[in-house]
């Protein structure tokens, strides 16, 4: 694949089709091919779409998981960068903020090329619609992350002819959301209900519907949010795993609760995640770069089994399968005294970076549906959805009742808490607190202020694009 000149703005990204080892991402277009004429067959269309998934892997490996999880106050960075995420002292010139921006726009750039070129390929309509649906779903996901992190952002939906074309002003978030919704509606129409075999993990109709519901929820369009969550819930394609620990587990990837996961490779390649290596506590050669906090541990009801399945505390069984010295978790291994267990168990030190990241799962959909239903004054339906999550056999927490959640306010409080403990360490809490207007209340003690409702536009982008404006107070 011909390397496109990066030029003066990261909007114009290299279409680098790097390979990876995860099922449908095994093949990637050879670098020797030029962009002109590349999209000339169904196989090439698939390879082009696969390259978008590679961008998704890259964006989520380190940058997105840290920019979402650390400011939640539930993960502390130690022995790594950027420590500024721990206490809201980050700034526009921070490299990791720019890397996040750049990675998301790389995915958008690849999506735009696929969307522009696939329609002219002579191939089966169903497959063409699927690949277009995948590209539009992924573009919507990239833009959804961008607007949640930065607010108004440059909106580019066509391949860029030159570097000058990349120097555009920010588009209001409301208008970006219109494109996100249009892409997801198109994706819903074109994507299959499910995949199997080597294609397992590609975007599906249910993934588009779930993300649509989430987009509407974030925009307080509760009727449409309810509509799309119900489509997922009534599809018969998804359900809760009995064992909470299997929700995010290397042996149960793409399970019945999974609606969309970022696929990662088990061994080597560009498709490895950065979470599992960096979240191991500081023992046996690991650095303890990302650690669970006491705030996270204390968020759970002591009787909630999810605490022990999400967080290591001193005295817990750790890795007896590896060595006697690692059999029991010790507080001295961690700057906080705790470590993340969810998505890390069983502990591995070799080839541990291939575990997928769940981005949307069925329990999340149930709880988002509950939130939408509650806002529509359907408290009975909201309570029933929350209770499904609490009744998971391995969790079995007491059901909410009309007595303790008989008002809209009380139900909302219960949903806030349930989302925190059910979805902890899944890159959701910080977004939830900001959209609910609870961030200052919950995160003010660790440095959050009003300006942190949005991250700053990266300084490098400001320097090279005079049409950009900075977010308030940055």
Mean pLDDT lowest among 24-33, 321-330, 354-363: 24-33
Cα 355 to chain centroid, rounded: 14
pLDDT at 37: 84
Query: Dihedrals φ, ψ of 254, to 5°?
Result: 55, 40
Residue 19 has pLDDT above 90, yes or no: no
How confident is the model over 296-305, as a mean pLDDT? 98
Q: What is the pLDDT of residues 224-272, one digit of tens each?
A: 999 999 999 999 999 999 999 999 999 999 999 999 999 997 544 446 7
Cα 41 to chain centroid, rounded: 31
pLDDT at 266: 55
Residue 23 has pLDDT above 70, yes or no: no
Q: pLDDT > 70: what percent of the chain?
A: 91
Q: What is the pLDDT of residues 392-410, one digit of tens each?
A: 999 999 999 999 999 999 9
Mean pLDDT lowest among 35-49, 169-183, 222-236, 412-426: 35-49
Cα separation values, 309 from 300, 306, 318, 339, 365, Å: 11, 5, 12, 11, 21
- H, E, C per residue of the chain: CCCCCCCCCCCCCCCCCCCCCCHHHCCCCCCCCCCCCCCCCHHHHHHHHHHHHHHHHHHHHHHHHHHHHHHHCCEEECCCCCCHHHHCCCCCCCHHHHHHHHHHHHHHHHHHHHHHHHHHCCCCHHHHHHHHHHHHHHHHHHHHHHHHHHCCECCCCCCCCCHHHHCCCCECHHHHHHHHHHHHHHHHHHCCCCCCHHHCCCCCHHHHHHHHHHHHHHCCCHHHHHHHHHHHHCCCCCCCCCCHHHCCCHHHCCCCCEEEEECCCCCCCCCCCCHHHHCCCCCCCCCCCEEECHHHHHCCCCCCHHHHHHEECCCCECCCCCCHHHCECCHHHCCCCCEECCCCCCCCCCCCCCCCEEEEEHHHHHHHHHHHHHHCCCHHHHHHHHHHHHCCCCCCCCCCCCCCCCCHHHHHHHHHHHHHHHCCCCCCHHHHHHHHCCHHHHHHHHCCCHHHHCCCCCHHHHHHCCCCCCCCCC
Long-range contact set of residues 97-102: C-beta below 8 Å, sequence gap at least 24: 97/67, 97/455, 97/456, 97/458, 98/10, 98/458, 98/459, 98/460, 98/461, 99/63, 100/59, 100/63, 100/64, 100/67, 100/149, 101/10, 101/146, 101/150, 101/457, 101/458, 101/461, 102/10, 102/13, 102/458
Instruction: State the residue for tokens 């890159």.
Output: 427
Residue 162 has pLDDT above 80, yes or no: yes
How confident is the model over 267-291, as a mean pLDDT? 81
For the chain, domain boundaries: 1-191+428-466
How confident is the model over 282-299, as a mean pLDDT? 95
pLDDT at 300: 98
- In this structure, the number of other CB atoms found within 10 A of the CB of residue 304 comes to 17
Which residues, listed in sequence order, are joined to residue 258 by a DSSP beta bridge?
Answer: 361
Q: Which residue has the higher pLDDT, 83 or 24?
A: 83
Residue 33 has pLDDT above 90, yes or no: no
pLDDT at 268: 42
pLDDT at 164: 86
Q: What is the pLDDT of residues 315-351, one digit of tens each?
A: 999 999 999 999 999 999 999 999 999 999 899 887 6
User: Would you place residue 35 in the very low, low, confident or very high pLDDT band (cuts 50, 70, 90)?
Assistant: low
- Angle of helix 125-150 relative to helix 205-218, nearest 10 degrees, comes to 30
Average pLDDT, the chain: 91
Residue 83 has pLDDT above 80, yes or no: yes
pLDDT at 24: 55
Residue 28 has pLDDT above 50, yes or no: no
Instruction: State the residue for tokens 């090439």.
Output: 44
In the 8-state DSSP scheme, what is residue 63?
Answer: I
Burial, 18: exposed, middle or buried (Cβ in 10 Å; 0-12, 13-18, 19+)? middle
Q: What is the pLDDT of residues 178-233, one digit of tens each?
A: 999 999 999 999 999 999 999 999 999 999 999 999 999 999 999 999 999 999 99
231: three-class secondary structure by DSSP: helix
Closest CA to 442 of 298, 279, 310: 298
Using CA atoms, how far apart are residues 336 and 359, in angstroms rounded to an integer? 26
pLDDT at 30: 36
pLDDT at 267: 42
Query: Dihedrals φ, ψ of 89, to 5°?
Result: -105, 15
Q: State pTM to two decimals.
A: 0.93
Closest CA to 246 of 260, 257, 233: 257
- In this structure, the number of other CB atoms found within 10 A of the CB of residue 46 comes to 22
Domain 1-191+428-466 coded CATH 1.25.40.390: yes
Residue 143 has pLDDT above 60, yes or no: yes
Using CA atoms, how far apart are residues 254 and 248, in angstroms rounded to an integer? 9
Q: What is the pLDDT of residues 91-131, one digit of tens each?
A: 999 999 999 999 999 999 999 999 999 999 999 999 999 99
How confident is the model over 13-20, as a mean pLDDT? 36
């Amino acid at each position: 694949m011909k390397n496109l000149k990066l030029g003066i703005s990261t909007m114009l990204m290299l279409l680098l089709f790097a390979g990876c080892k995860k099922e449908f991402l095994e093949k990637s277009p050879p670098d020797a091919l030029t962009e002109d004429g590349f999209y000339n067959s169904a196989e090439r269309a698939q390879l082009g779409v696969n390259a978008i998934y590679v961008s998704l892997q890259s964006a989520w490996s380190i940058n997105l998981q840290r920019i979402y999880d650390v400011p939640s106050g539930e993960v502390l960075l130690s022995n790594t960068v950027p420590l500024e995420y721990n206490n809201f002292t980050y700034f526009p010139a921070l490299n990791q903020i720019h890397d996040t921006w750049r990675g998301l726009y790389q995915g958008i750039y690849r999506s735009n090329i696929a969307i522009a070129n696939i329609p002219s390929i002579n191939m089966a309509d169903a497959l063409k619609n699927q690949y277009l649906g995948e590209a539009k779903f992924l573009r919507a996901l990239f833009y959804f992350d961008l607007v949640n992190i930065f607010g108004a952002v440059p909106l580019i939906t066509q391949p860029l002819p030159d570097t000058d074309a990349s120097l555009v002003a920010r588009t209001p978030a409301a208008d970006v959301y219109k494109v996100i919704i249009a892409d997801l509606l198109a994706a819903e129409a074109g994507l299959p209900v499910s995949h199997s075999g080597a294609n397992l993990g590609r975007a599906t109709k249910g993934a588009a519907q779930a993300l649509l519901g989430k987009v509407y929820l974030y925009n307080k369009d509760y009727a449409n949010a309810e509509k799309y969550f119900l489509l997922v819930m009534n599809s018969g394609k998804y359900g809760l795993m009995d064992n909470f620990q299997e929700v995010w587990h290397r042996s149960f990837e793409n399970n019945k609760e999974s609606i969309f996961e970022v696929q990662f490779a088990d061994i080597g390649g560009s498709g490895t995640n950065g979470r599992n290596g960096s979240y191991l506590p500081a023992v046996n050669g690991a650095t303890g770069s990302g650690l669970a906090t006491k705030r996270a541990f204390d968020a759970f009801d002591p009787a909630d089994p999810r605490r022990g399945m999400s967080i290591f505390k001193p005295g817990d069984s750790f890795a007896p399968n590896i060595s006697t010295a690692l059999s029991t978790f010790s507080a001295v291994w961690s700057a906080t005294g705790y470590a993340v267990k969810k998505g890390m168990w069983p502990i591995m030190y070799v080839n541990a970076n291939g575990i997928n990241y769940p981005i949307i799962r069925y329990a999340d959909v149930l709880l988002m549906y509950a939130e939408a239903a509650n806002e529509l004054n359907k408290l009975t339906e909201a309570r029933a959805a929350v209770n499904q999550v609490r009744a998971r056999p391995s969790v079995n927490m007491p059901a909410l009742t009309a007595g303790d959640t008989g008002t809209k306010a009380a139900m909302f409080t219960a949903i806030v808490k349930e989302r925190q403990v059910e979805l902890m360490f899944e890159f959701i809490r910080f977004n939830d607190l900001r959209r609910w207007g609870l961030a200052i209340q919950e995160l003010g003690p660790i440095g959050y202020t009003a300006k942190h409702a949005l991250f700053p536009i990266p300084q490098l982008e400001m320097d090279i694009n005079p049409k950009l404006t900075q977010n308030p107070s940055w």
